[in-house]
Chain A
Protein backbone atom coordinates (compact mmCIF):
# COMPACT_ATOMS: atom_id res chain seq x y z
CA UNK A 1 0.00 0.00 0.00
CA UNK A 2 1.14 3.51 -0.77
CA UNK A 3 -0.08 5.92 1.88
CA UNK A 4 0.16 9.64 1.31
CA UNK A 5 -0.78 11.90 4.20
CA UNK A 6 -1.01 15.68 4.08
CA UNK A 7 1.82 15.91 1.61
CA UNK A 8 2.67 19.40 0.43
CA UNK A 9 5.29 20.75 -1.91
CA UNK A 10 5.70 24.37 -2.88
CA UNK A 11 8.08 25.24 -5.65
CA UNK A 12 7.41 28.96 -5.49
CA UNK A 13 4.90 31.01 -3.57
CA UNK A 14 2.31 30.62 -6.31
CA UNK A 15 3.00 27.02 -7.36
CA UNK A 16 1.83 24.74 -4.60
CA UNK A 17 1.13 21.02 -4.83
CA UNK A 18 -1.10 19.51 -2.17
CA UNK A 19 -2.12 18.87 0.48
CA UNK A 20 -2.42 15.39 -0.96
CA UNK A 21 -4.16 12.60 0.90
CA UNK A 22 -4.57 9.28 -0.79
CA UNK A 23 -4.13 5.58 -0.20
CA UNK A 24 -3.31 3.29 -3.06
CA UNK A 25 -3.95 -0.34 -2.15
CA UNK A 26 -1.50 -3.13 -2.85
CA UNK A 27 -1.71 -4.98 -6.16
CA UNK A 28 -3.31 -3.36 -9.13
CA UNK A 29 -2.77 -0.71 -11.73
CA UNK A 30 -3.57 2.88 -10.83
CA UNK A 31 -3.44 5.61 -13.44
CA UNK A 32 -2.71 9.22 -12.68
CA UNK A 33 -4.34 11.58 -15.15
CA UNK A 34 -4.76 15.33 -15.37
CA UNK A 35 -3.82 18.37 -17.43
CA UNK A 36 -0.27 19.64 -17.90
CA UNK A 37 1.13 21.18 -14.77
CA UNK A 38 -1.41 19.48 -12.52
CA UNK A 39 1.33 18.09 -10.32
CA UNK A 40 1.37 14.45 -11.45
CA UNK A 41 5.12 14.23 -11.89
CA UNK A 42 5.69 16.07 -8.64
CA UNK A 43 3.53 13.59 -6.77
CA UNK A 44 5.28 10.64 -8.40
CA UNK A 45 8.74 12.01 -7.68
CA UNK A 46 7.85 12.50 -4.02
CA UNK A 47 6.60 8.93 -3.70
CA UNK A 48 9.76 7.76 -5.44
CA UNK A 49 11.88 9.71 -2.88
CA UNK A 50 13.51 11.75 -5.66
CA UNK A 51 11.97 14.99 -4.41
CA UNK A 52 11.83 16.06 -0.77
CA UNK A 53 8.46 16.81 0.74
CA UNK A 54 7.83 20.13 2.44
CA UNK A 55 5.22 18.65 4.72
CA UNK A 56 3.45 15.38 5.36
CA UNK A 57 4.40 11.76 5.16
CA UNK A 58 4.57 9.05 2.53
CA UNK A 59 4.91 5.37 3.26
CA UNK A 60 5.31 2.54 0.81
CA UNK A 61 4.72 -0.99 2.09
CA UNK A 62 4.73 0.49 5.61
CA UNK A 63 8.19 1.99 5.13
CA UNK A 64 8.45 5.72 5.62
CA UNK A 65 10.29 6.87 2.51
CA UNK A 66 11.91 9.79 4.32
CA UNK A 67 13.60 7.67 6.96
CA UNK A 68 14.08 4.29 5.29
CA UNK A 69 17.39 3.37 3.75
CA UNK A 70 17.52 4.10 0.06
CA UNK A 71 19.24 0.78 -0.42
CA UNK A 72 16.27 -1.10 1.06
CA UNK A 73 13.72 0.98 -0.79
CA UNK A 74 15.41 0.15 -4.09
CA UNK A 75 14.32 -3.45 -3.66
CA UNK A 76 10.65 -2.62 -3.26
CA UNK A 77 10.17 0.61 -5.19
CA UNK A 78 11.33 1.87 -8.55
CA UNK A 79 10.55 5.00 -10.53
CA UNK A 80 10.90 6.03 -14.15
CA UNK A 81 11.07 9.77 -14.73
CA UNK A 82 9.17 11.57 -17.46
CA UNK A 83 12.34 12.77 -19.13
CA UNK A 84 15.61 10.93 -19.24
CA UNK A 85 18.77 12.06 -20.84
CA UNK A 86 22.02 10.28 -20.32
CA UNK A 87 25.36 11.66 -21.41
CA UNK A 88 26.95 8.39 -20.42
CA UNK A 89 27.05 6.06 -23.40
CA UNK A 90 25.76 2.63 -22.51
CA UNK A 91 24.27 -0.17 -24.53
CA UNK A 92 20.67 -1.21 -24.00
CA UNK A 93 21.83 -4.31 -22.20
CA UNK A 94 24.26 -2.46 -19.94
CA UNK A 95 21.52 -0.01 -18.99
CA UNK A 96 19.00 -2.76 -18.29
CA UNK A 97 21.69 -4.57 -16.30
CA UNK A 98 21.92 -1.62 -13.94
CA UNK A 99 18.33 -2.42 -12.99
CA UNK A 100 19.82 -5.35 -11.08
CA UNK A 101 22.16 -3.05 -9.12
CA UNK A 102 20.15 -3.17 -5.88
CA UNK A 103 20.73 -6.91 -5.72
CA UNK A 104 24.10 -7.51 -7.31
CA UNK A 105 25.90 -4.16 -6.88
CA UNK A 106 27.12 -4.37 -10.44
CA UNK A 107 28.44 -7.93 -10.51
CA UNK A 108 25.62 -9.59 -12.39
CA UNK A 109 25.04 -13.22 -11.57
CA UNK A 110 23.80 -15.79 -14.03
CA UNK A 111 20.32 -15.30 -12.63
CA UNK A 112 20.56 -11.53 -13.05
CA UNK A 113 21.59 -12.01 -16.67
CA UNK A 114 18.60 -14.22 -17.26
CA UNK A 115 16.26 -11.63 -15.81
CA UNK A 116 17.85 -8.94 -17.96
CA UNK A 117 17.49 -11.11 -21.05
CA UNK A 118 13.87 -11.77 -20.20
CA UNK A 119 12.88 -8.12 -20.09
CA UNK A 120 14.97 -7.22 -23.11
CA UNK A 121 13.24 -9.90 -25.13
CA UNK A 122 9.93 -8.92 -23.72
CA UNK A 123 10.32 -5.27 -24.70
CA UNK A 124 11.31 -6.27 -28.21
CA UNK A 125 14.86 -5.03 -27.79
CA UNK A 126 16.66 -8.30 -28.49
CA UNK A 127 18.07 -7.19 -31.81
CA UNK A 128 19.08 -3.84 -30.34
CA UNK A 129 20.60 -4.98 -27.08
CA UNK A 130 24.18 -4.15 -27.99
CA UNK A 131 23.35 -0.81 -29.55
CA UNK A 132 24.17 2.39 -27.75
CA UNK A 133 21.28 4.41 -26.40
CA UNK A 134 22.22 7.43 -28.48
CA UNK A 135 21.84 5.33 -31.61
CA UNK A 136 18.18 4.49 -30.99
CA UNK A 137 14.89 6.09 -31.92
CA UNK A 138 12.87 7.85 -29.24
CA UNK A 139 10.49 4.95 -28.73
CA UNK A 140 13.25 2.37 -28.67
CA UNK A 141 15.07 4.38 -26.05
CA UNK A 142 11.91 4.73 -23.98
CA UNK A 143 11.57 0.96 -24.03
CA UNK A 144 15.18 0.59 -22.90
CA UNK A 145 14.45 2.84 -19.89
CA UNK A 146 11.38 0.79 -19.08
CA UNK A 147 13.48 -2.38 -19.37
CA UNK A 148 15.86 -1.05 -16.72
CA UNK A 149 13.00 -0.26 -14.37
CA UNK A 150 11.36 -3.66 -14.90
CA UNK A 151 14.67 -5.46 -14.33
CA UNK A 152 14.59 -4.05 -10.83
CA UNK A 153 11.59 -6.35 -10.27
CA UNK A 154 10.16 -4.33 -7.41
CA UNK A 155 6.75 -4.73 -5.91
CA UNK A 156 5.97 -1.07 -6.42
CA UNK A 157 6.54 0.49 -9.82
CA UNK A 158 6.10 4.20 -10.54
CA UNK A 159 6.08 5.22 -14.19
CA UNK A 160 5.83 8.75 -15.50
CA UNK A 161 4.31 8.61 -18.98
CA UNK A 162 5.76 5.24 -19.99
CA UNK A 163 3.93 5.42 -23.30
CA UNK A 164 5.95 8.46 -24.35
CA UNK A 165 7.06 8.07 -27.96
CA UNK A 166 5.59 4.56 -28.29
CA UNK A 167 3.50 3.54 -31.29
CA UNK A 168 0.00 2.13 -30.78
CA UNK A 169 1.06 -1.51 -30.89
CA UNK A 170 3.89 -0.97 -28.40
CA UNK A 171 1.62 1.07 -26.15
CA UNK A 172 -0.96 -1.70 -26.08
CA UNK A 173 1.71 -4.31 -25.38
CA UNK A 174 3.23 -2.25 -22.60
CA UNK A 175 -0.13 -1.74 -20.92
CA UNK A 176 -1.00 -5.41 -21.34
CA UNK A 177 2.20 -6.34 -19.61
CA UNK A 178 1.74 -3.89 -16.76
CA UNK A 179 -1.78 -5.13 -16.25
CA UNK A 180 -0.53 -8.71 -16.30
CA UNK A 181 2.22 -7.96 -13.77
CA UNK A 182 -0.31 -6.34 -11.48
CA UNK A 183 -2.85 -9.14 -11.75
CA UNK A 184 -0.54 -12.12 -11.82
CA UNK A 185 2.31 -11.09 -9.50
CA UNK A 186 0.42 -8.68 -7.27
CA UNK A 187 2.59 -5.73 -8.32
CA UNK A 188 1.40 -2.26 -7.41
CA UNK A 189 1.81 -0.03 -10.42
CA UNK A 190 1.21 3.69 -10.44
CA UNK A 191 1.53 5.27 -13.85
CA UNK A 192 0.96 8.71 -15.29
CA UNK A 193 -0.98 8.48 -18.55
CA UNK A 194 -2.13 11.18 -20.89
CA UNK A 195 -4.46 9.02 -22.95
CA UNK A 196 -7.67 8.74 -20.95
CA UNK A 197 -8.80 5.75 -22.97
CA UNK A 198 -5.67 3.78 -22.18
CA UNK A 199 -6.24 4.61 -18.53
CA UNK A 200 -9.86 3.48 -18.78
CA UNK A 201 -9.09 0.22 -20.48
CA UNK A 202 -6.21 -1.02 -18.33
CA UNK A 203 -6.51 0.59 -14.91
CA UNK A 204 -8.03 -0.80 -11.77
CA UNK A 205 -8.30 2.71 -10.36
CA UNK A 206 -7.88 6.20 -11.72
CA UNK A 207 -6.65 9.22 -9.82
CA UNK A 208 -7.25 12.59 -11.45
CA UNK A 209 -5.23 15.64 -10.48
CA UNK A 210 -5.82 19.29 -11.19
CA UNK A 211 -4.11 22.44 -9.93
CA UNK A 212 -1.94 20.55 -7.51
CA UNK A 213 -4.89 18.79 -5.89
CA UNK A 214 -6.44 15.38 -6.23
CA UNK A 215 -9.67 16.12 -8.05
CA UNK A 216 -11.11 12.64 -8.19
CA UNK A 217 -10.09 9.12 -7.21
CA UNK A 218 -12.02 5.94 -7.83
CA UNK A 219 -12.70 3.01 -10.06
CA UNK A 220 -12.74 3.38 -13.82
CA UNK A 221 -16.54 3.46 -13.86
CA UNK A 222 -16.60 6.18 -11.22
CA UNK A 223 -14.12 8.46 -12.95
CA UNK A 224 -15.14 7.93 -16.58
CA UNK A 225 -18.05 10.33 -16.27
CA UNK A 226 -18.55 13.19 -18.72
CA UNK A 227 -19.01 15.81 -15.98
CA UNK A 228 -15.93 14.79 -14.04
CA UNK A 229 -13.63 14.62 -17.07
CA UNK A 230 -15.00 17.80 -18.60
CA UNK A 231 -14.38 19.57 -15.34
CA UNK A 232 -10.84 18.25 -14.94
CA UNK A 233 -9.62 18.92 -18.46
CA UNK A 234 -11.80 21.99 -19.09
CA UNK A 235 -12.69 20.56 -22.48
CA UNK A 236 -15.98 19.07 -23.51
CA UNK A 237 -15.62 15.31 -23.07
CA UNK A 238 -18.35 12.76 -23.66
CA UNK A 239 -18.38 9.10 -22.77
CA UNK A 240 -19.66 6.39 -25.07
CA UNK A 241 -19.75 2.68 -24.42
CA UNK A 242 -17.32 0.86 -26.65
CA UNK A 243 -16.79 -2.86 -27.09
CA UNK A 244 -14.16 -2.94 -24.29
CA UNK A 245 -15.71 -0.44 -21.90
CA UNK A 246 -16.22 3.31 -21.66
CA UNK A 247 -14.52 5.52 -24.24
CA UNK A 248 -13.93 9.23 -23.89
CA UNK A 249 -14.67 11.28 -26.98
CA UNK A 250 -13.45 14.83 -27.35
Chain B
Protein backbone atom coordinates (compact mmCIF):
# COMPACT_ATOMS: atom_id res chain seq x y z
CA UNK B 1 0.00 0.00 0.00
CA UNK B 2 0.81 3.66 -0.44
CA UNK B 3 4.34 4.31 -1.30
CA UNK B 4 2.48 7.46 -2.18
CA UNK B 5 2.30 7.06 -5.92
CA UNK B 6 -0.36 4.41 -6.23
CA UNK B 7 1.21 1.39 -7.86
CA UNK B 8 -0.02 1.25 -11.40
CA UNK B 9 2.58 -1.37 -12.04
CA UNK B 10 0.66 -4.26 -10.52
CA UNK B 11 1.49 -6.14 -13.68
CA UNK B 12 -0.47 -6.02 -16.87
CA UNK B 13 -0.30 -9.75 -17.33
CA UNK B 14 -2.08 -10.30 -14.03
CA UNK B 15 -4.64 -7.67 -14.92
CA UNK B 16 -5.73 -9.73 -17.90
CA UNK B 17 -6.93 -12.54 -15.69
CA UNK B 18 -7.79 -10.68 -12.53
CA UNK B 19 -11.30 -9.58 -13.31
CA UNK B 20 -12.39 -12.69 -15.14
CA UNK B 21 -13.08 -14.72 -12.05
CA UNK B 22 -16.81 -14.89 -12.59
CA UNK B 23 -17.02 -16.33 -16.03
CA UNK B 24 -20.01 -18.45 -16.83
CA UNK B 25 -18.83 -21.44 -18.82
CA UNK B 26 -16.99 -23.25 -16.12
CA UNK B 27 -16.97 -27.02 -15.74
CA UNK B 28 -19.48 -27.00 -12.88
CA UNK B 29 -21.89 -24.99 -14.99
CA UNK B 30 -21.59 -27.38 -17.90
CA UNK B 31 -22.13 -30.28 -15.52
CA UNK B 32 -25.21 -28.61 -14.04
CA UNK B 33 -26.54 -27.92 -17.50
CA UNK B 34 -26.13 -31.56 -18.49
CA UNK B 35 -27.81 -32.67 -15.27
CA UNK B 36 -30.78 -30.39 -15.89
CA UNK B 37 -31.10 -31.61 -19.47
CA UNK B 38 -30.99 -35.19 -18.20
CA UNK B 39 -33.72 -34.40 -15.67
CA UNK B 40 -35.71 -32.88 -18.51
CA UNK B 41 -35.37 -36.08 -20.51
CA UNK B 42 -36.44 -38.18 -17.52
CA UNK B 43 -39.37 -35.85 -16.98
CA UNK B 44 -40.42 -36.31 -20.61
CA UNK B 45 -40.49 -40.08 -20.25
CA UNK B 46 -42.03 -40.36 -16.81
CA UNK B 47 -45.74 -40.97 -16.51
CA UNK B 48 -48.51 -43.49 -16.39
CA UNK B 49 -49.34 -43.34 -20.03
CA UNK B 50 -47.15 -45.59 -22.12
CA UNK B 51 -46.10 -43.24 -24.89
CA UNK B 52 -43.94 -45.78 -26.64
CA UNK B 53 -46.37 -48.66 -26.70
CA UNK B 54 -49.66 -46.95 -27.52
CA UNK B 55 -50.70 -45.93 -30.99
CA UNK B 56 -51.35 -42.29 -30.08
CA UNK B 57 -48.24 -42.14 -27.93
CA UNK B 58 -46.56 -39.59 -30.12
CA UNK B 59 -49.55 -37.29 -29.94
CA UNK B 60 -49.77 -37.65 -26.16
CA UNK B 61 -46.10 -36.90 -25.92
CA UNK B 62 -46.55 -33.53 -27.58
CA UNK B 63 -49.83 -32.53 -25.96
CA UNK B 64 -48.95 -33.38 -22.37
CA UNK B 65 -45.34 -34.42 -21.74
CA UNK B 66 -43.58 -31.65 -23.63
CA UNK B 67 -45.82 -28.90 -22.20
CA UNK B 68 -45.36 -30.31 -18.73
CA UNK B 69 -41.59 -30.37 -18.92
CA UNK B 70 -41.45 -26.94 -20.54
CA UNK B 71 -43.70 -25.42 -17.91
CA UNK B 72 -41.65 -27.04 -15.15
CA UNK B 73 -38.51 -25.44 -16.50
CA UNK B 74 -40.14 -22.06 -16.93
CA UNK B 75 -41.81 -21.93 -13.52
CA UNK B 76 -38.69 -23.23 -11.81
CA UNK B 77 -36.64 -20.45 -13.31
CA UNK B 78 -39.35 -17.87 -12.59
CA UNK B 79 -39.81 -18.69 -8.92
CA UNK B 80 -36.08 -18.94 -8.22
CA UNK B 81 -35.49 -15.65 -9.96
CA UNK B 82 -38.36 -13.94 -8.19
CA UNK B 83 -36.95 -15.09 -4.86
CA UNK B 84 -33.49 -13.79 -5.67
CA UNK B 85 -34.69 -10.38 -6.83
CA UNK B 86 -36.87 -10.12 -3.76
CA UNK B 87 -33.93 -10.93 -1.51
CA UNK B 88 -31.85 -8.20 -3.10
CA UNK B 89 -34.61 -5.64 -2.96
CA UNK B 90 -35.40 -6.33 0.71
CA UNK B 91 -31.80 -7.08 1.73
CA UNK B 92 -33.04 -10.14 3.51
CA UNK B 93 -32.06 -13.72 2.83
CA UNK B 94 -35.26 -15.28 4.14
CA UNK B 95 -37.65 -13.56 1.86
CA UNK B 96 -39.39 -15.11 -1.13
CA UNK B 97 -42.87 -15.00 -2.66
CA UNK B 98 -44.36 -17.29 0.00
CA UNK B 99 -42.80 -15.50 2.97
CA UNK B 100 -43.93 -12.05 1.85
CA UNK B 101 -47.57 -12.71 1.08
CA UNK B 102 -47.01 -12.19 -2.64
CA UNK B 103 -48.45 -15.59 -3.50
CA UNK B 104 -51.47 -15.05 -1.27
CA UNK B 105 -52.11 -11.71 -2.92
CA UNK B 106 -52.08 -13.24 -6.35
CA UNK B 107 -54.51 -15.88 -5.05
CA UNK B 108 -56.79 -13.07 -3.94
CA UNK B 109 -56.40 -11.49 -7.35
CA UNK B 110 -57.49 -14.72 -9.03
CA UNK B 111 -60.47 -14.94 -6.75
CA UNK B 112 -61.56 -11.41 -7.60
CA UNK B 113 -61.36 -12.20 -11.28
CA UNK B 114 -63.55 -15.27 -10.75
CA UNK B 115 -66.02 -13.11 -8.84
CA UNK B 116 -66.19 -10.32 -11.38
CA UNK B 117 -66.24 -12.37 -14.56
CA UNK B 118 -68.37 -15.47 -15.03
CA UNK B 119 -65.90 -17.61 -16.97
CA UNK B 120 -62.64 -15.70 -17.01
CA UNK B 121 -60.04 -16.41 -19.64
CA UNK B 122 -56.53 -17.35 -18.60
CA UNK B 123 -55.28 -13.93 -19.69
CA UNK B 124 -57.80 -12.24 -17.42
CA UNK B 125 -56.86 -14.44 -14.47
CA UNK B 126 -53.21 -13.76 -15.07
CA UNK B 127 -53.74 -10.02 -15.17
CA UNK B 128 -55.62 -10.18 -11.88
CA UNK B 129 -52.89 -12.24 -10.27
CA UNK B 130 -50.10 -9.94 -11.49
CA UNK B 131 -51.90 -6.80 -10.45
CA UNK B 132 -52.70 -8.04 -6.96
CA UNK B 133 -49.27 -9.46 -6.33
CA UNK B 134 -47.79 -6.12 -7.35
CA UNK B 135 -50.03 -4.22 -4.95
CA UNK B 136 -49.38 -6.69 -2.16
CA UNK B 137 -45.61 -6.74 -2.62
CA UNK B 138 -45.46 -2.95 -2.74
CA UNK B 139 -47.50 -2.80 0.45
CA UNK B 140 -45.10 -5.20 2.09
CA UNK B 141 -42.08 -3.14 1.03
CA UNK B 142 -43.68 0.03 2.38
CA UNK B 143 -44.25 -1.77 5.66
CA UNK B 144 -40.60 -2.84 5.61
CA UNK B 145 -39.42 0.76 5.60
CA UNK B 146 -40.57 0.90 9.18
CA UNK B 147 -38.38 -2.02 10.20
CA UNK B 148 -34.93 -0.95 11.33
CA UNK B 149 -32.99 -4.18 11.10
CA UNK B 150 -33.49 -5.30 7.55
CA UNK B 151 -31.63 -8.56 7.88
CA UNK B 152 -33.69 -9.80 10.81
CA UNK B 153 -36.18 -12.60 11.12
CA UNK B 154 -38.87 -10.00 11.74
CA UNK B 155 -39.11 -9.44 7.99
CA UNK B 156 -40.33 -12.90 6.94
CA UNK B 157 -42.49 -13.07 10.05
CA UNK B 158 -44.26 -9.87 9.05
CA UNK B 159 -44.57 -11.22 5.52
CA UNK B 160 -46.05 -14.53 6.61
CA UNK B 161 -48.50 -12.79 8.91
CA UNK B 162 -49.56 -10.55 6.09
CA UNK B 163 -49.89 -13.60 3.87
CA UNK B 164 -52.01 -15.36 6.49
CA UNK B 165 -54.34 -12.37 6.72
CA UNK B 166 -54.74 -12.21 2.96
CA UNK B 167 -55.39 -15.93 2.64
CA UNK B 168 -57.96 -15.64 5.43
CA UNK B 169 -59.66 -12.89 3.47
CA UNK B 170 -59.60 -15.13 0.39
CA UNK B 171 -61.12 -18.01 2.32
CA UNK B 172 -63.79 -15.74 3.74
CA UNK B 173 -64.73 -14.42 0.33
CA UNK B 174 -64.61 -17.97 -0.98
CA UNK B 175 -67.02 -19.15 1.70
CA UNK B 176 -69.29 -16.23 1.08
CA UNK B 177 -69.59 -16.93 -2.61
CA UNK B 178 -69.17 -20.69 -2.40
CA UNK B 179 -65.88 -20.85 -4.20
CA UNK B 180 -63.72 -22.57 -1.61
CA UNK B 181 -62.95 -25.38 -4.00
CA UNK B 182 -61.29 -23.01 -6.41
CA UNK B 183 -59.05 -21.69 -3.66
CA UNK B 184 -58.16 -25.05 -2.20
CA UNK B 185 -57.14 -26.56 -5.47
CA UNK B 186 -55.18 -23.41 -6.25
CA UNK B 187 -53.21 -23.54 -3.02
CA UNK B 188 -51.94 -26.96 -3.98
CA UNK B 189 -49.91 -26.08 -7.03
CA UNK B 190 -49.55 -28.98 -9.39
CA UNK B 191 -48.51 -29.66 -12.95
CA UNK B 192 -50.89 -32.55 -13.56
CA UNK B 193 -53.31 -30.40 -15.55
CA UNK B 194 -50.74 -28.84 -17.80
CA UNK B 195 -51.25 -29.54 -21.46
CA UNK B 196 -51.04 -27.89 -24.81
CA UNK B 197 -53.17 -24.76 -24.98
CA UNK B 198 -53.15 -24.20 -21.22
CA UNK B 199 -49.61 -23.24 -20.42
CA UNK B 200 -48.32 -21.06 -23.26
CA UNK B 201 -48.42 -17.84 -21.23
CA UNK B 202 -45.56 -19.24 -19.19
CA UNK B 203 -43.27 -18.38 -22.09
CA UNK B 204 -43.59 -14.76 -20.98
CA UNK B 205 -41.15 -15.75 -18.27
CA UNK B 206 -38.40 -15.73 -20.87
CA UNK B 207 -39.14 -12.05 -21.35
CA UNK B 208 -39.06 -11.42 -17.59
CA UNK B 209 -35.69 -13.16 -17.41
CA UNK B 210 -34.28 -10.90 -20.09
CA UNK B 211 -35.57 -7.85 -18.23
CA UNK B 212 -34.02 -9.04 -14.98
CA UNK B 213 -30.75 -9.57 -16.80
CA UNK B 214 -30.86 -6.02 -18.14
CA UNK B 215 -31.46 -4.60 -14.65
CA UNK B 216 -29.08 -7.05 -12.99
CA UNK B 217 -26.38 -4.64 -11.87
CA UNK B 218 -28.88 -2.13 -10.57
CA UNK B 219 -30.65 -4.82 -8.59
CA UNK B 220 -27.37 -6.04 -7.09
CA UNK B 221 -26.59 -2.46 -6.17
CA UNK B 222 -30.02 -2.07 -4.59
CA UNK B 223 -29.00 -5.01 -2.42
CA UNK B 224 -26.28 -2.83 -0.91
CA UNK B 225 -28.92 -0.50 0.45
CA UNK B 226 -30.38 2.89 -0.26
CA UNK B 227 -27.36 4.88 0.92
CA UNK B 228 -24.76 3.15 -1.20
CA UNK B 229 -27.07 3.15 -4.19
CA UNK B 230 -27.81 6.86 -3.82
CA UNK B 231 -24.17 7.70 -3.30
CA UNK B 232 -23.40 5.93 -6.55
CA UNK B 233 -26.01 7.99 -8.32
CA UNK B 234 -28.72 5.39 -8.75
CA UNK B 235 -32.42 6.14 -8.34
CA UNK B 236 -33.15 3.70 -5.52
CA UNK B 237 -36.91 4.02 -5.42
CA UNK B 238 -37.17 3.49 -9.13
CA UNK B 239 -35.21 0.25 -9.13
CA UNK B 240 -37.27 -1.01 -6.19
CA UNK B 241 -40.36 -0.27 -8.22
CA UNK B 242 -38.99 -2.01 -11.29
CA UNK B 243 -37.81 -4.96 -9.20
CA UNK B 244 -41.23 -5.33 -7.64
CA UNK B 245 -42.89 -5.18 -11.03
CA UNK B 246 -40.62 -7.95 -12.33
CA UNK B 247 -41.27 -10.12 -9.28
CA UNK B 248 -45.02 -9.63 -9.63
CA UNK B 249 -44.92 -10.50 -13.30
CA UNK B 250 -43.09 -13.75 -12.66
CA UNK B 251 -45.18 -14.72 -9.64
CA UNK B 252 -48.46 -13.64 -11.17
CA UNK B 253 -47.92 -15.65 -14.35
CA UNK B 254 -46.98 -18.77 -12.39
CA UNK B 255 -49.84 -18.28 -9.95
CA UNK B 256 -52.42 -18.06 -12.70
CA UNK B 257 -51.18 -20.99 -14.73
CA UNK B 258 -49.88 -23.42 -12.12
CA UNK B 259 -50.71 -22.28 -8.60
CA UNK B 260 -48.82 -21.95 -5.37
CA UNK B 261 -45.24 -23.24 -5.42
CA UNK B 262 -43.67 -22.64 -2.03
CA UNK B 263 -40.03 -22.20 -1.06
CA UNK B 264 -38.41 -22.56 -4.45
CA UNK B 265 -37.41 -18.92 -4.36
CA UNK B 266 -35.79 -19.46 -1.01
CA UNK B 267 -33.80 -22.63 -1.54
CA UNK B 268 -32.21 -21.92 -4.88
CA UNK B 269 -30.85 -18.38 -4.39
CA UNK B 270 -29.47 -19.25 -0.97
CA UNK B 271 -27.59 -22.24 -2.30
CA UNK B 272 -26.22 -20.27 -5.24
CA UNK B 273 -25.20 -17.44 -2.91
CA UNK B 274 -23.26 -19.83 -0.72
CA UNK B 275 -21.04 -20.83 -3.63
CA UNK B 276 -21.03 -17.83 -5.89
CA UNK B 277 -22.02 -14.79 -3.86
CA UNK B 278 -24.75 -12.44 -4.97
CA UNK B 279 -23.62 -10.79 -8.16
CA UNK B 280 -26.93 -11.06 -9.99
CA UNK B 281 -25.70 -10.77 -13.55
CA UNK B 282 -23.24 -13.64 -13.35
CA UNK B 283 -25.53 -15.71 -11.14
CA UNK B 284 -28.76 -15.46 -13.08
CA UNK B 285 -28.00 -18.45 -15.35
CA UNK B 286 -27.14 -20.51 -12.30
CA UNK B 287 -30.26 -19.51 -10.44
CA UNK B 288 -32.48 -20.31 -13.40
CA UNK B 289 -30.76 -23.62 -13.99
CA UNK B 290 -30.94 -24.74 -10.37
CA UNK B 291 -34.55 -23.61 -10.18
CA UNK B 292 -35.37 -25.79 -13.16
CA UNK B 293 -33.42 -28.73 -11.76
CA UNK B 294 -35.00 -28.56 -8.33
CA UNK B 295 -38.58 -28.35 -9.50
CA UNK B 296 -38.11 -31.08 -12.12
CA UNK B 297 -36.59 -33.39 -9.53
CA UNK B 298 -39.50 -32.69 -7.17
CA UNK B 299 -42.03 -33.18 -9.94
CA UNK B 300 -40.53 -36.48 -11.05
CA UNK B 301 -40.68 -37.62 -7.43
CA UNK B 302 -44.28 -36.49 -7.20
CA UNK B 303 -45.13 -38.67 -10.20
CA UNK B 304 -43.34 -41.86 -9.21
CA UNK B 305 -43.74 -42.00 -5.43
CA UNK B 306 -47.28 -43.40 -5.41
CA UNK B 307 -47.67 -44.34 -9.03
CA UNK B 308 -50.15 -44.40 -10.72
CA UNK B 309 -51.30 -41.47 -8.61
CA UNK B 310 -49.63 -38.10 -8.22
CA UNK B 311 -48.64 -36.15 -5.16
CA UNK B 312 -48.99 -32.40 -5.78
CA UNK B 313 -45.50 -31.06 -6.34
CA UNK B 314 -46.13 -28.18 -3.94
CA UNK B 315 -46.30 -30.66 -1.06
CA UNK B 316 -42.86 -32.02 -1.89
CA UNK B 317 -41.46 -28.53 -2.38
CA UNK B 318 -42.99 -27.45 0.92
CA UNK B 319 -41.40 -30.35 2.78
CA UNK B 320 -37.96 -29.97 1.24
CA UNK B 321 -38.20 -26.19 1.47
CA UNK B 322 -39.03 -25.98 5.14
CA UNK B 323 -36.08 -28.20 6.00
CA UNK B 324 -33.74 -25.98 3.98
CA UNK B 325 -35.34 -22.89 5.53
CA UNK B 326 -34.50 -24.18 8.99
CA UNK B 327 -30.96 -25.08 7.94
CA UNK B 328 -30.41 -21.55 6.63
CA UNK B 329 -31.72 -20.12 9.89
CA UNK B 330 -29.34 -22.28 11.89
CA UNK B 331 -26.40 -21.37 9.69
CA UNK B 332 -27.20 -17.67 10.04
CA UNK B 333 -27.15 -17.91 13.79
CA UNK B 334 -23.72 -19.44 13.74
CA UNK B 335 -22.07 -16.94 11.44
CA UNK B 336 -20.45 -14.18 13.50
CA UNK B 337 -20.96 -11.37 10.99
CA UNK B 338 -24.72 -11.37 11.11
CA UNK B 339 -25.99 -8.92 13.69
CA UNK B 340 -28.92 -10.16 15.68
Contacts and interface: CB of A to CB of B under 8 A. Distances in A.
Interface of A: 48-50, 70-75, 78-79, 81, 84-91, 93-95, 97-99, 101-102, 105-108, 113-114, 116-119, 121-124, 126, 129-130, 132, 134, 152, 170, 173-174, 176-177, 180
Contact of B6 (A85, A91, A118): A118
B225 A86 contact: yes
Given A90-B278, A90-B279, A122-B7, A78 B231 contact: yes
Given A114-B15, A177-B2, A89 B233 contact: no
A132 B92 contact: no
Given A90-B277, A108-B19, A117 B2 contact: no
A96 B1 CA distance: 16
B178 interface: no
Nearest to B92: A87
Contact of B281 (A49, A106, A114, A129): A106
A123 B1 CA distance: 5
A87 B270 CA distance: 12
29 contacts: A49-B230, A70-B230, A78-B231, A85-B339, A87-B93, A88-B88, A88-B223, A88-B224, A89-B273, A89-B278, A90-B278, A91-B21, A94-B22, A98-B221, A99-B232, A101-B234, A105-B217, A106-B217, A106-B218, A108-B19, A113-B18, A118-B7, A118-B8, A118-B10, A119-B6, A122-B1, A132-B277, A173-B2, A176-B2
Interface of B: 1-2, 4, 6-8, 10, 15, 18-19, 21-22, 88, 91-93, 150-151, 216-218, 220-221, 223-225, 227-228, 230-235, 273, 277-279, 281, 335, 337, 339
Nearest to B7: A121
Nearest to A124: B1
Nearest to B22: A94
B1 A72 contact: no
Contact of A116 (B2, B19, B228, B235): B19
Contacts of A93: 18-19, 21
Contacts of B279: 90-91, 94
A136 to B, nearest CB: 9
Given A74-B231, A90-B278, A134-B337, 20 more contacts: A73-B233, A79-B231, A84-B228, A85-B151, A88-B224, A89-B273, A90-B224, A91-B277, A93-B18, A93-B19, A101-B221, A107-B217, A117-B18, A118-B7, A119-B6, A122-B6, A126-B10, A152-B232, A174-B2, A176-B4
Contacts of B19: 93, 97, 108, 113, 116-117
B71 to A, nearest CB: 31
B88 A72 contact: no
Contacts of B216: 106
A71 B277 contact: no
Q: Which of B228, B234, B335 has the most CB of A within 10 A?
A: B228
Q: Which of B1, B15, B93, B339 has the most CB of A within 10 A?
A: B1
B336 to A, nearest CB: 9
B7 A130 contact: no
A173 B7 CA distance: 14
A74 B217 CA distance: 16
Contacts of B22: 94
Given A74-B231, A118-B7, A122-B6, A87 B21 contact: no
Nearest to A93: B19
A170 B233 contact: no
A40 to B, nearest CB: 16
A78 B88 CA distance: 23
A107 to B, nearest CB: 8
A94 B277 contact: yes
A107 B10 CA distance: 22
Nearest to B227: A50
